[in-house]
A and B are shown apart, each in its own frame.
Chain A
Amino acid sequence: MSQHRPAKPKLFDPAILGPAAKNAFVKLDPRQLLRNPVIFVTEVVAAMVTLLFVRDLIADPAGAAFSGQIAAWLWFTVLFATFAEAVAEGRGRAQADSLKRTRSNLSARRVGANGAEEEVPATMLKVGDVVVVEAGELIPGDGEVVEGVASVNESAVTGESAPVIREAGGDRSAVTGGTQVLSDRLRIRITTPPGASFVDRMIALIEGAERQKTPNEIALSILLSGLTLVFLIVVATVWGLAGYSGTLVSVTVLAALLVTLIPTTIGGLLSAIGIAGMDRLVRFNVIATSGRAVEAAGDVDTLLLDKTGTITFGNRMATDFIPAPGVTPRQLAEAALLASLSDETPEGRSIAALATGEFGLSVPKTPVDATVPFTAQTRLSGVDMGAHRLRKGAVDAILKFAGVQQNQTPVEFSQAVDQIARAGGTPLGVADGNRLLGVIHLKDVVKPGIKERFAALRAMGIRTVMVTGDNPVTAAAIASEAGVDDFLAQATPEDKLAYIRKEQQGGRLIAMCGDGTNDAPALAQADVGVAMQTGTQAAREAANMVDLDSSPTKLIEIVEIGKQLLMTRGSLTTFSIANDVAKYFAIIPALFVATYPALGGLNIMGLASPQSAILSAVIFNALIIIALIPLALKGVAYRPAGAAALLRRNLFIYGLGGLLLPFAGIKVIDMAVSSLHLV
């Protein structure tokens, strides 16, 4: 899990709710609502019933109380829907504002063709302009370092306070607008026009101004619009059907029937769910350049994961001591500990840690005559203590030190060495003078918990593929230890690209992360490409997401967020549709019971009167939107499990729950309505 997982934001922050309440009214503008056909229809119907209410006020004051209340609740239905969207946007905007603040009033020192510098506002910069930034200044836009090395504080974007090094050439050349140069001086070529940098794009995405519907959202909107049309037909024809028996159905009641039947719940919450999904991603410090990518993340079948940093810690660590014949493990550990005292490399420290941890050894107080520090030339380290000349190091270096010929090494010693090499590890020899004490097993240590994580992914139907530059033997060993489904050994960027293409041919969606320029083609080819914030500009441009934490494990969380977004949509759609059953049973008997008293038999909820039944159904329909806003913003509970288990669970909660809840809800509201004598 990411250490940057932010504190959960409060669901109902007054600072967000206030403006949201105001925006909810602004969003009533029919031109804006046209984007959401279900709520648009609701608004039209609400306006119509309001007119009927006005007519009733003049012509039939006794009936006005009913039509007035229906009209009011229809307007509430619309308002609750716009409010949900406004709250989601408000939460996103709060996040975006902090980013934005860093970007206002930036000015740049542009280097002209003649080499002279001129001061221009950052908004005037064009792609290809070269600017100079010195210590203490803010970088005016996204770009690439063309000259110089500097430490840069990127906390404004990443939240990480430790400065990072940015230098020309290589994989650390990309800089982000709004970050601060702490030391030295950089010449930067601007690579994105102002307003199009990925921070700008992200702000646009969460603010909703340029929010475009994602493919799945479009498909769902079509379903919801289709259902709305179906119910329009159903309700419009009730007129004629009832006319057959001479019943004149009131338009107010038909309006109420229509609004309760069309999927207002999911229609009202759909955009909020989408915005909240993007927002959730941002809270994980991931910026997506399109909503499409977030959805695709939920569909991913295969994850390409870099070994180093994701699956293993990246440093080889000592995991075992294998003593030579006649040597106890404790003796070997002692010798290894002493020989490693002067080795400050991570490997050396891990040997000391293993010796002190496993055998409870402590660094002896015995005076040391001389230390031999580790160097790349000797490839060994050690100490001289009296008669003992303890050394540890690469096996051939140790053999040379001990003066033992390859063919004279004890069988057990060479067997241990072979075994470790075959298992993908690195053997280190330990010697005391010309006596071989044993072998230390160094290996690439798989991060704890990662195997369980992969098992969970497998349960979700996602294959994990480890990508590594190691030889196939080492790769296979680590792959089996980490529990990945496949691995790419000695992988070149071309290999990655070929692998992605092959998987995509088979109908699978691939996610990968990368940071180098040579990763760019693969990032662009992958369905979900996540670039590291520390990566090159080329990589960031090719990817459709950027991870500000530069944490390779983030890919797993991104997939989960994508899945949660889709699940929330599906669950609320199912809930919304299942709700209709109860509403039919509330309104249909109420509609016709005057003509056919026998139809009272359909009033299985025992609602007090036709009018209270209709009003209660409308009130339930409005209140359920408000009640579900928190769920829409948080997303439904997600746990990694197979599709069958997820389906069973969600179908039970949102399908069966959606079927039964409104029966109880409408009954309770009806009791309140009738006891308050509202109708």
Chain B
Amino acid sequence: MTLIGWLQIGLLFLAVLAVVKPLGLYMASVFSGERTWLSPILAPVERGLYAVAGVDPKKEQGWLGYTFAMLAFSVAGFIALYAILRLQAYLPLNPQGFGNVAPDLAFNTAVSFVTNTNWQNYGGETTMSHFSQMAGLTVQNFLSAATGMALAMALTRAFARSQAATIGNFWVDMTRATLYVLLPLAFIVALAFVAMGLPQTLSAGVTAQTLDGAQQVIALGPVASQEAIKQLGTNGGGFFNVNAAHPFENPSAFSNYLNIFAMLSVSAALVFTFGQMVGNRRQGWTLLATMATLLVAGVAVVYWAEAGGNPILTALGIDGAQGNMEGKEVRFGQAMTALYAAVTTGLSDGGVNGMHGSFTGLGGLVPMFLIQLGEVLPGGVGSGLYGMLVFALLSVFVAGLMVGRTPEFLGKKIESREMKYAMLAVLILPLAILGFTAISAVLPVAVASVGTAGPHGLSEILYAFSSAAGNNGSAFGGLSGNTPWYNTTLGIAMLLGRFAYAVPVMAIAGSLAKKVRSPASSGTFPTDGPLFVGLLIAIILILGGLQFFPALALGPIVEHFAMLAGQTY
């Protein structure tokens, strides 16, 4: 670890911190339906969209209506994307002449992009036409992110309102999220990426003659535009197979910085928006501080583990001063790879600029663990916020009784109804991650896909299902996921992780909205301030993390101890 490395990391967090408030305030006015400085241009467009779709923006929905709208919208998105992929060969903008995507891969990919996961069982530049990338994948990058934001805002309103029957209108929230937040930001970031040298073209690619006379096709395409929303919407699905490690997706240290900055800013700012909308900014900062503490700890462990290198290689006479450089791009180095790895998994982004599977035992453990914590640091846009709020409800309930009152969060009593739905949501991750991993670990057809011997193989499977259920999308590498088994099971894990989690959360929103918001007193459990940060961290680690301890012990933890013992597999 170096001071420069830490300065780079610190500077990035400061930069994100600087935009949290202005962006958060802007989003608060967007989702409160207020006029913003973009309204003169966008309001007519917005009205036009509602008119075409026959949506009455004034008419709000109860939690059931909201949830059905969200589900219907996602199903429609899935069908559209599936159709595009399956019919790719007959659709325009296919200069490379790619064929139709196979049914299981099309299912997996469609689910992956609709659920904001962006797990990619394909190499983008060798599978997807420009049309599929732009009209299919990039569109879902916007819409799945907007869906997450809408859900988070519905839950936010449930806290903010007192004795309310409705929690907003899904169509309005989704439209405003896309139109006022994601599109303008993506536009700016895409231009910045173009300036940094990312390709933005509809041409097929360039064929080059290599030094030894072979022909090499250098893939090109509309990269910058997809890259911008890939990060802003915490999607993570890259244009190229190796994602942000590819020089055209992430050419320089600057573009790397912008990548991380873009993926963190919207999710983090949304937490401020929450505080603003419930009328308690301190609450927003408290949640943000919790996320930041765990995230920085994650960055530190990865950085420390990777910069420390591999003692086995050092013993073989390889210079250990560079740390473990396997799977890392030299232009990013240890600090920026560690930062990217922790941020992309703490957020459910899933883009990578290095290969997590090549990290040391501990270095690989952290990204996996951050996903398993439930993608709340600060998580996917919207989904991270509502995931964190579920943890906050659990913390308030477990510890809140200790002050001798029925637990309350922001003046809303947390009772059996909320607990029931919160526990339903909490069950989803262990069920999807551990359940599928345990089956895949013994099923011959699944084990056959594993690329590495020893405990690392289990880590590959565990990471894959964690990534899918957590809607992260990053891969550990090594696992050949494009098989009917993994395409299907990972697809199911993604659906569970997204919708089986979101529906109970919406039920909580419906129940909370109906409750009276009671005023805080000195007898109320304090949910802002350092004490709550500590409590929340403990609950996230014990309830969210410890479930995966046995699985992690058999994967990355063994790898770590084995590495220390000089043992290889």
Interface residues of A (CB under 8 A from B): 215-216, 218-220, 222-223, 225-227, 229-231, 233-245, 257, 295, 298-299, 301, 458-463, 505-508, 562-564, 566-567, 569-571, 573-574, 577-578, 580-581, 584, 588-589, 591-592, 596, 598-602, 638, 642-644, 646-648, 650-651, 654-655
Contact = CB atoms under 8 A, between A and B. Distances in A.
List 8 A-B pairs, minimum CB-CB distance, nearest first: A461-B523, A570-B401, A240-B438, A226-B423, A563-B404, A507-B518, A461-B521, A598-B561
B531 interface: yes
Contact of B522 (A236, A461, A591): A461
Interface stretch (B24-32, B142-150, B541-549): B541-549
Contacts of B54: none
Contact of B402 (A239, A245, A592, A650): A650
Interface in B42-68: none
Contact of B427 (A230, A460, A588): A230
Contact of A234 (B398, B434, B516, B517): B434
B403 interface: yes
A647 B420 contact: no
A596 to B, nearest CB: 5
A121 B462 CA distance: 72
Contacts of B565: 598
Contacts of A642: 522-523
A602 B553 contact: yes
B439 A567 contact: no
Given A577-B543, A598-B558, A644-B526, A508 B402 contact: no
Contact of B518 (A506, A566, A650): A506
B411 interface: yes
Contact of B430 (A230, A581, A600): A230
B549 A241 contact: no
Contact of A222 (B162, B419, B525, B554): B419
Interface string B529-569: 10100010010001100110111011001100110110100
B554 A245 contact: yes
B564 to A, nearest CB: 7
Contacts of B319: none
A241 B438 contact: yes
Nearest to B438: A240
A555 to B, nearest CB: 15
A508 B406 CA distance: 12
Interface of B: 162, 394, 397-406, 411, 414-416, 418-420, 422-424, 426-427, 430-431, 434-435, 437-439, 441-442, 447, 454-455, 457-458, 461-462, 516-519, 521-526, 529, 531, 535, 538, 542-543, 546-547, 549-551, 553-554, 557-558, 561-562, 564-565, 567
B525 A216 contact: no
A646 B531 contact: no
Contacts of B398: 223, 570, 573-574, 577
B543 A567 contact: no
Contacts of A569: 401
Contacts of B406: 215-216, 295, 298-299, 566
A461 B542 CA distance: 30
A506 to B, nearest CB: 6
B550 A588 contact: yes
10 contacts: A237-B434, A237-B438, A298-B404, A298-B405, A462-B521, A566-B406, A581-B546, A589-B553, A643-B405, A655-B538
Contacts of B518: 301, 506-508
Contact of B414 (A219, A301, A574, A638): A219
A239 B434 CA distance: 11
A244 B440 CA distance: 9
Nearest to A505: B516
Given A222-B420, A588-B550, A598-B567, A566 B430 contact: no
Q: Per DSSP, are chain B's interface residues mostly helix, strand or loop, or mixed? A: helix
Given A216-B406, A461-B521, 9 more contacts: A219-B397, A233-B430, A241-B550, A244-B457, A299-B406, A574-B399, A578-B538, A643-B524, A644-B531
A596 B554 CA distance: 8
B407 to A, nearest CB: 8
Given A241-B551, A245-B554, A588-B550, A562 B404 contact: yes
A223 B397 contact: yes
Contact of A602 (B431, B462, B557, B567): B557
Nearest to A223: B419
Contact of A215 (B415, B519, B531): B415
A241 B554 contact: yes
Contact of A507 (B394, B405, B411): B411
A549 to B, nearest CB: 23
Max chain A C-beta neighbours (<10 A), residue from B427, B554, B567: B554
A465 to B, nearest CB: 14
Contacts of A644: 522, 526, 529, 531
B419 A241 contact: no
B226 to A, nearest CB: 36
B402 A570 contact: yes
B399 A647 contact: yes
A573 B524 CA distance: 19
B521 A216 contact: no
Given A240-B442, A506-B519, A601-B564, A567 B404 contact: yes
Contacts of B554: 241-242, 244-245, 592, 596
Nearest to B434: A237
Contacts of A239: 438
A442 to B, nearest CB: 36
A220 B396 CA distance: 12
A141 B398 CA distance: 44
A646 B399 CA distance: 11
A245 B455 contact: yes
Given A222-B420, A301-B521, A460-B522, A566 B401 contact: yes
Contacts of A650: 399, 402-403
A233 B431 contact: yes
A648 B531 contact: yes
Given A299-B406, A644-B526, A601 B561 contact: yes
A599 B558 CA distance: 6
Contacts of B427: 226, 229-230, 233
Contact of A218 (B399, B416, B516, B553): B416
B522 A567 contact: no
A216 B415 contact: yes
Contacts of B561: 596, 598-602
